[in-house]
């Protein structure tokens, strides 16, 4: 007999409305529906799985507590993602992990060979992000993946725009080195 996943029979909205009432089963269904995606978000801001799970846990608790504020105007996934990112930022701030300003001349990052990049799996890239120091990791993820501006990052992390820029540059530089190392492929010669 074919077994239907019960959670799948509810729409997001149904689950959200039940969850607002504090119904645990609905909350669990909702969690299960979005946990993997949100864990992906958290991983970009954490050095390891454990801290990513901490962020995930804190984010979901926060989301459930504030669920009544979700007005069904945008996508729920987007709302949840925002909470996760904010939680990651909070955790980051709380730990005060921003490294001191490292001013790096803006290196001209050179193009990779497209083939080299295809060899890299998401796991590898996440591993690279994870290995960055907290400040670099957070700035890079916010800027490159979430699409924050330097001004927004500066406000969120309580740093100057200049710091945000230099940390981003430094992060990129380190990531490129890592990609090179992993793939064994050097950058193409600079076009200069």
Partner 1 sequence: MDNKQQIDQLFKSVVENYELKPSADVWNRIEEDLNQNKTTHTSATIVRYAAILLVIIGVTFFALPVSKNTPISLQGNAIDQNQPISALEPISTASALIVSDNNTVVAQIPETVNRTIVDDVLESNLNTFASNVIPFHNQESDFIFMPQETENEALADANRDIIDRIYNNDQSIDVFGFGELTSYEDDEEAQLIQPDKAITYKDYSMKGVYIGASGSYNQTSIIEYGNTFKGARPIQPSLKFGSSKGLMLGYNFNNKFGIEAEFIYNAIQGQNYVMSEDEQIVEKSLSLNYDLIPVVAKIKVGRISNITNMPVVLNYTAGIQYGMLREARLPQDKRYEETTEELFTDQDLSVVLGLEYDIFVQENLMLTLGTRGAISTDISTHSGPLSYYNKRNFVFGLRAGLSYAFN
According to the binding rule CB under 8 A, does residue 1 interact with partner 1? no
Segment holding 79, helix H or strand E? helix 76-95
Q: Closer to partner 1 at the Cβ: 64 or 101? A: 64
Q: How far is CA 137 from CA 88, 131, 176, in A?
A: 11, 8, 14
According to the binding rule CB under 8 A, does residue 47 interact with partner 1? no
Give how many residues touch partner 1 by CB under 8 A: 48
3-state secondary structure of 122: helix
The region of 24-32, 70-78, 83-91, 96-104 touching partner 1 under the rule CB under 8 A is 24-32
Considering only residues 12, 20, 31, 183, which one is a binding residue for partner 1 as defined by CB under 8 A?
A: 31
According to the binding rule CB under 8 A, does residue 27 interact with partner 1? yes
According to the binding rule CB under 8 A, does residue 126 interact with partner 1? yes
Q: Closer to partner 1 at the Cβ: 14 or 158? A: 14
Distance CA 58, CA 44 (A): 16
The region of 45-53, 72-80, 95-103, 153-161 touching partner 1 under the rule CB under 8 A is 45-53
According to the binding rule CB under 8 A, does residue 140 interact with partner 1? yes
Distance CA 161, CA 167 (A): 10
According to the binding rule CB under 8 A, does residue 136 interact with partner 1? no
User: Tell me, what DSSP letter sits at residue 21?
Assistant: T
According to the binding rule CB under 8 A, does residue 145 interact with partner 1? yes
According to the binding rule CB under 8 A, does residue 61 interact with partner 1? yes
User: Under a CB-based contact definition with an 8 Å cutoff, are residues 103 and 166 in contact?
Assistant: yes
Distance CA 30, CA 79 (A): 13
Residue count of the chain, please give it: 192
According to the binding rule CB under 8 A, does residue 113 interact with partner 1? no
Distance CA 153, CA 147 (A): 10
The dihedrals phi and psi of 40, each to the nearest 5 degrees, come to -55, -40
Q: Go through 81-90 and write b for each residue having 16 or more CB atoms within 10 A of its CB, e for each that does not.
A: bebbbebbbe
Residues in contact with partner 1 by CB under 8 A are 6, 18, 21-28, 31-32, 35-37, 39-40, 43-44, 49, 52-53, 56-57, 60-61, 64-65, 108-112, 117, 120-122, 125-126, 129, 140, 143-145, 172, 175-176, 179
């Amino acid at each position: 007999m074919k077994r239907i996943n019960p959670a799948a029979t509810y729409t997001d909205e149904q689950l959200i409305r039940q969850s607002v009432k504090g119904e645990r089963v609905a909350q669990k269904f909702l969690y299960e529906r979005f946990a993997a995606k949100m864990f992906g978000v958290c991983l970009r801001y954490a050095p390891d799985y454990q801290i990513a799970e901490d962020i995930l846990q804190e984010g979901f608790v926060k989301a459930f507590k504030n669920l009544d504020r979700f007005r069904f105007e945008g996508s729920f996934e987007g709302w949840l993602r925002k909470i996760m990112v904010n939680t990651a930022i909070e955790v980051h701030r709380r730990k005060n992990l921003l490294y001191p300003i490292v001013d790096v001349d803006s290196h001209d990052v050179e193009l990779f060979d497209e083939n080299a990049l295809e060899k890299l799996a998401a796991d590898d890239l996440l591993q690279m992000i994870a290995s960055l120091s907290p400040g670099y990791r957070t700035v890079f993820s916010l800027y490159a993946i979430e699409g924050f501006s330097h001004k927004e990052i500066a406000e969120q992390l309580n740093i100057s725009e200049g710091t945000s820029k230099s940390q981003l540059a430094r992060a990129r530089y380190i990531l490129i080195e890592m990609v090179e190392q992993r793939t064994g492929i050097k950058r193409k010669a600079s076009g200069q």
